[in-house]
């Protein structure tokens, strides 16, 4: 991709890409753990650095292949529930 004109546009685009890569790399494993403990997707989104549930849902679904609520329903360990 060749960007001409405003050089700040390319820098900003690269920074946003790097931030999203970091959130994806470090946020997804933690989000899977939180959802596996039965946490609501909106809470998992906030605790893993996403600005809103919609953004979190899009990333989670893209990289995990399941919506966060579906993942939670499948992997929530109910054995530890009720403590």
Going from the N-terminus, what domains does the chain have, and what CATH number goes with each?
Answer: 27-77 (1.10.10.60)
Residue 16 φ then ψ, to 5°: -60, -40
Question: What are the tens digits of pLDDT across the range 18-52?
Answer: 666 666 666 678 899 999 999 999 999 999 888 88
Q: In the prediction, which pLDDT does 37 show?
A: 93
Residue 49 φ then ψ, to 5°: 90, 10
What proportions of the chain, in percent to the nearest 5, are helix, strand and coil?
Answer: 70, 0, 30
- Which residue pairs, CB below 8 angstroms and at least 24 apart, start in 73-79? 75/32, 75/35, 75/36, 76/35, 76/36, 76/37, 76/38, 77/36, 77/37, 77/38, 78/38
| Residue 83 pLDDT level (bands cut at 50, 70, 90) | very low
């Amino acid at each position: 991709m060749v960007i001409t004109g405003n050089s700040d546009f390319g820098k900003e685009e690269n920074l946003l890409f790097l931030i999203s890569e970091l959130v994806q790399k470090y946020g997804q494993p933690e989000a899977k753990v939180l959802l596996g403990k039965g946490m609501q997707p909106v809470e998992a989104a906030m605790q893993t650095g996403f600005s809103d549930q919609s953004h979190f849902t899009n990333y989670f679904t893209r990289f995990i292949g399941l919506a966060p609520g579906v993942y939670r329903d499948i992997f929530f360990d109910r054995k530890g529930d009720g403590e």
